[in-house]
Structure 1
């Protein structure tokens, strides 16, 4: 939420070298082969071409004899520790798919390669140990995995829910079973009266959509009637209607999607208990982030309530940091399941950023002792997992053999009060993603997800040549008939970018990646890549791609309001007083219905979170539109290239605007944000619009006589409810207000609770929530003013 920065789902630290390197993208490479089922993406060859820069850290017996395909640099080092059963020597196709697996037939000593593993050397000859039956009654369903019948999963859950204390002792209460803790996975996030109100969302949305369409139709009818009566064209009114329609498009599209929330989401809250657990390779991808940030994620991953011999933590360091390598070596002395890898990146040859790093990890894990695990999990460098992360996500894959991927929300612990730049993504993760999950089209949001290795191989591993490899991955899986799940539990917490420039770069990269992926997937409308998608899944893919493209229209429409007002034309045309009455009444009904709909829809994320998202769409649209034009419309000889937003000029240092000790003074911040980060457009737009409103209002007082005439003139020119210019100006002013008064945040360490013995750190309870600040109060005040004015105009309409 796109290289090492992805689609709307997961910020990367601003110091990553990828943020500089990925300004130019090469989508093809000589050493990459084209998978015949991969449309325009490319996938790496199955034979790894790069090697770690240090021996992989211990996770196996020192006396282990590597299989025939092992390389010399994979030999164990003297520091390696762990018993002979520390990680079973079984390839991932032969490991238990669930803790209650019963072997259907004996497996020969030599495990056969699956048919989709063409080009790989045979797996090692490994004796298979039968798994033991669970103590709880479960039904076992056989699942055919290519030539090897080894992937099976639970179909029935434990009858009696178990309430764990989330301490390490609780995992010993059972032996290989799944507990159903609640019928809803989000039971701890929001409950009570909020759920009752949210149930009315589809009906309120339907009402709101109907009233708004009626209002727009009435506007068009009245303009036509006014033109017929007056004998001339109302150009200003036509332009204003076009603006209203343009601004309404994303809302109407979201409304259509929201009405699908009528379909009940039935994702239960599950926990995997006991020690009979499937094996997992946890990849931590990093590239130049601060060592302490990465190590907090590593320690959190090593501190899972999960048997140490059933999962490995593999640090995939694309920054080749010597200090990080040394720190991992130290940790590996006490954690035998920790490994460090760093691929060699040859200058001039595309390395495909995060997707290439993940594919490298997939290939190298095949050569680890015991082969690859059946499941792969991934964490961003800054995402600290909660202790129950694996036990909470894996059951959703185990109960359904066609479930390819399960992903929890990305949450953050360093979001400033009021979240002035709308960095939290709360509306997306708490409202949009659960609705998408109910429709069977949950996205991979880039971090914290667990994926079935078989499903990854079915699509040729992570697709290359895309800035949104996570979205592309989950979409390709859906196109192949697999399922994806969204686990609505707070299971990981990371950091948002701490400066304005990094935020712009991150979000524009997400938008470009989403559009680029949509083009390659033909907007999920047709093609072999999406042939097994449902109608709802295709509509979702189309919707979120077109919303990014829509910023072009939205940005162009912003210019219309000040132009019309300076032009001196009225925004609303009508033939007689009755038509004006009906227009005001329809506008009032639509506005109030929209307010009620927003209140109900935003409840899971918080009302103010939804409002921030609406403002964010406006002030970010010029940046996204500019990058889309550069990436997809401009030819190269005119400066066109696929890249995220890039500041103009040369910046000698960052602004450090959230650090009271290091931040630049206000004049430097204003200069950099207005000129280098092109917020001068926002500044000019707001002032031109306010001047236009003042001039238009002056004309009403100058040309009209009497209170009634002046009020009607004001209403039909600048102050037509719900004061659209006020909402747009306050939204576009965001970069300027941020430069003048940026939020202050404490040091990262102050937001964490750290175990002094183990060094494991988790965010404080307070830091996990976004505080209500003065900016949120100011925006709410403006919103209420606009609503009150709408009500007053409605009441006054009965007296003229």
Structure 2
């Protein structure tokens, strides 16, 4: 996942696309690629990528004049041969190509350096689960601190309960499928008995199946948690360490935010002559360059670089910036490092970051990339927009890692230069270069690792609009990458992937596409209720009893399954994720339609979510001193950020519930008749309309009562002498707030109603 500087690159991306559209007739990803002949560019004049030659420890930047970036000439952009083995569907034009190198899909021999520092450190490969405290002794060693890298993150009874997740998931899936089958059987029986078509019941079943499909797919994935994850907690010790180039990518962020990341990177517990910190500034800020230069006397291993951007020529935003850095480090004293690491502009690394991640690459020569989770220190109480990613980093990513499908998390990762060289460096033409990079490496037979330790902390977007741009960008990038890689099901790019790796790539791309169907299905609930049709059909009272009992069993088993599955991230975190999937679906669906389905003349555009209208100033919604008043916040979020859909859906659904309930009281004349009518119409357990309405109300409730956050400096502990800052212990945790309590109350009410209906069914 890309970090907080996504929005900056998003602005840069819009400028690039606008230039291409004006100069070359670029129409977006849904149209055919532009032919290279349309561009006045001579590919044969471009040199090949330089081989990976690590710089020597001890040769520091003080031994030569400070580096000044030469004019940028993009040495990795080359023409793709007509008879190359680039997979079908990937454009050949350098403007649209996913990689700037023709070696992206070719079996190019990896250029190994004779100066490699890996061999003296580790003589042979080893599995992640070690039986000794020391993997290798010597001047520099790899120490095994624990059997599990997440031993301090969650432990005790939680591990025993989480162990039950695959079994609970299997039971829950089986019960739910039985329940859906019973629903269909009862509808057919009711129609045969009465000779009347129950259209409303069929539509409601269709909705339930539609909503259940992604959950069932995800259940199949989480059942794979049965495979134990054995990645140990390792540390690299000593001073004879491999060389690393640490890139800090930035594009217009505040200087102080970037400098905190740079100072944290320089403050690593790592030999100074074995790593460099290189700031890759895509905004070419004079003040940032000056601030970096002021660090040079005390830190000779820090560099500032800013590439030249030629108007009308695609810059490929973050991937292009990283590739520029990969090429330019060859000109630094000693050449390129054996490994490359990357940090987003706002991600402050912990002091043992490099020593914690590198061992996982050193013990296995086929390990291409190792990455820790992205964690955040400015997440507001209750995390109303589900920005923390805790469920993904604490539950999903460890399961993927156990199956050998760890994705690059976008920041804090360390990658082997030889593996990058084999895939042609970072692939261009993707909005999710991190996912694309790790996927291509897996396709080449390399391995990736997820290090489940808190090794970096950054910031989440502080405004509603920034959050929408970030998440829709991720979704579009994942889908775009999946299309180009044929959903990881076949093709040269994924030839060496395992079944689990292919299934993972297919699943997460499909879940993004599924928002289209989910958004469309939401309309059906208020329509059925206004239509006056019952949601559940049955032929006799016994069938109704069985339906209620099956629904009760499915609901309770689902609650137990959620409790066990959410344990590593926290129960409330998992619930936030479930609500997020509902209210965010319309935004993702809209962007997918615009990006992949509509032609430009009908509003098609290759970009993340863009607000309508003109926003004169920021809302500052999380600053209690400068935030706009409630009326401005409501106007902007409801109209400019299209929460009008959410607002209208909630009110129409509530009106439909009231009308449906009124009909029950008017038509039925007995208490039993009224209760059964209410249950089979709007209040069928577990009160689905209530969960959907409270979830879709999130943007509106956020506009009415946004969370307040202190200044960023108040969330940090800063060394007065060095200026190095790290998040406070309190800021690393998400506080339990009133909104989380409200949603838990709603969830409890729905569960209690299901139990009461179940009990009542025995008395009629």
TM-score w.r.t. structure 1 length?
0.84
Q: 1:616 deviation in Å? A: 0.2
Whether the 8 Å contact between 2:376 and 2:388 is mirrored in structure 1 is yes
Is the aligned partner of 1:297 residue 2:291?
no
Pick the aligned partner of 1:734 from 698, 715, 719.
Answer: 698
Match of 2:61 in 1: 60
Is the aligned partner of 1:190 residue 2:167?
no
Worse-matched range after superposition: 16-25 or 657-666:
16-25
Match of 1:161 in 2: 133
Match of 1:455 in 2: 419
Pick the aligned partner of 2:275 from 311, 329, 348.
Answer: 311
What pairs up with 1:414-433 in 2 under 5 angstroms?
414-433=378-397
Is the aligned partner of 1:795 residue 2:759?
yes
Is the aligned partner of 1:12 residue 2:5?
yes
For residue 710 of structure 2, give the secondary structure of its aligned residue in structure 1.
Answer: coil
Match of 2:399 in 1: 435
Runs of 5+ unmatched residues, structure 2: 21-25, 27-32, 51-58, 73-102
Match of 2:573 in 1: 609
| Structure 1 residues 517 and 159: alpha-carbon distance in aligned structure 2, compared to 1, 3 A threshold | closer
Match of 2:232 in 1: 268
**Matches of 2:71 and 2:297, distance apart in 1:** 19
Pick the aligned partner of 2:252 from 253, 278, 288.
Answer: 288
Q: 1:21 deviation in Å? A: 3.4
| Structure 1 residues 398 and 335: alpha-carbon distance in aligned structure 2, compared to 1, 3 A threshold | same
For residue 289 of structure 1, give the secondary structure of its aligned residue in structure 2.
Answer: coil
For residue 573 of structure 1, give the secondary structure of its aligned residue in structure 2.
Answer: coil
Match of 1:618 in 2: 582
For residue 331 of structure 2, give the secondary structure of its aligned residue in structure 1.
Answer: coil
Deviation per CA, 1:294-331: give whole Å up to 9, x if none. Answer: 00000000000000000010100000000000001111
Deviation per CA, 1:249-293: give whole Å up to 9, x if none. Answer: 111111000000111100000000000100000011000000000
What pairs up with 1:641-720 in 2 under 5 angstroms?
641-720=605-684
Please tell me the root mean square deviation across aligned C-alpha atoms, in Å. 2.8
- Structure 1 or 2: more helix by fraction: 2
**Matches of 2:452 and 2:213, distance apart in 1:** 28
- How many residue pairs get aligned? The number is 704
Match of 1:524 in 2: 488
Pick the aligned partner of 2:15 from 21, 36, 53.
Answer: 21
TM-score w.r.t. structure 2 length?
0.88
Q: 1:161 deviation in Å? A: 3.5
| Structure 1 residues 586 and 45: alpha-carbon distance in aligned structure 2, compared to 1, 3 A threshold | farther
**Matches of 1:521 and 1:160, distance apart in 2:** 41
For residue 236 of structure 2, give the secondary structure of its aligned residue in structure 1.
Answer: strand
Match of 2:440 in 1: 476
Q: 1:639 deviation in Å? A: 1.4
Match of 2:508 in 1: 544
Worse-matched range after superposition: 632-641 or 515-524:
632-641
What pairs up with 1:231-380 in 2 under 5 angstroms?
231-380=195-344
**Matches of 1:156 and 1:246, distance apart in 2:** 40
**Matches of 2:436 and 2:305, distance apart in 1:** 25
Regions of 4+ moved over 2 Å: 10-35, 44-48, 58-66, 70-74, 115-118, 126-134, 153-163
Q: 1:332 deviation in Å? A: 1.4
Q: 1:12 deviation in Å? A: 2.7
Whether the 8 Å contact between 1:375 and 1:453 is mirrored in structure 2 is yes
Pick the aligned partner of 1:765 from 729, 736, 742.
Answer: 729
Pick the aligned partner of 1:395 from 329, 349, 359.
Answer: 359
Match of 2:709 in 1: 745
Whether the 8 Å contact between 1:140 and 1:155 is mirrored in structure 2 is no
Q: 1:232 deviation in Å? A: 1.8
Match of 1:780 in 2: 744
| Structure 1 residues 61 and 331: alpha-carbon distance in aligned structure 2, compared to 1, 3 A threshold | closer
Whether the 8 Å contact between 1:174 and 1:273 is mirrored in structure 2 is no
Runs of 5+ unmatched residues, structure 1: 36-43, 49-57, 75-114, 142-152, 164-172
Q: 1:676 deviation in Å? A: 0.5
**Matches of 1:242 and 1:616, distance apart in 2:** 22
Q: 1:759 deviation in Å? A: 0.4
Deviation per CA, 1:533-574: give whole Å up to 9, x if none. Answer: 011100000000000000000000000000000000000001
For residue 366 of structure 1, give the secondary structure of its aligned residue in structure 2.
Answer: helix
**Matches of 1:194 and 1:300, distance apart in 2:** 33
Is the aligned partner of 1:511 residue 2:475?
yes
Q: 1:749 deviation in Å? A: 0.2
Whether the 8 Å contact between 1:46 and 1:363 is mirrored in structure 2 is no
Deviation per CA, 1:174-210: give whole Å up to 9, x if none. Answer: 7300000000000010001100100000000000000
**Matches of 1:465 and 1:434, distance apart in 2:** 28
| Structure 1 residues 691 and 529: alpha-carbon distance in aligned structure 2, compared to 1, 3 A threshold | same
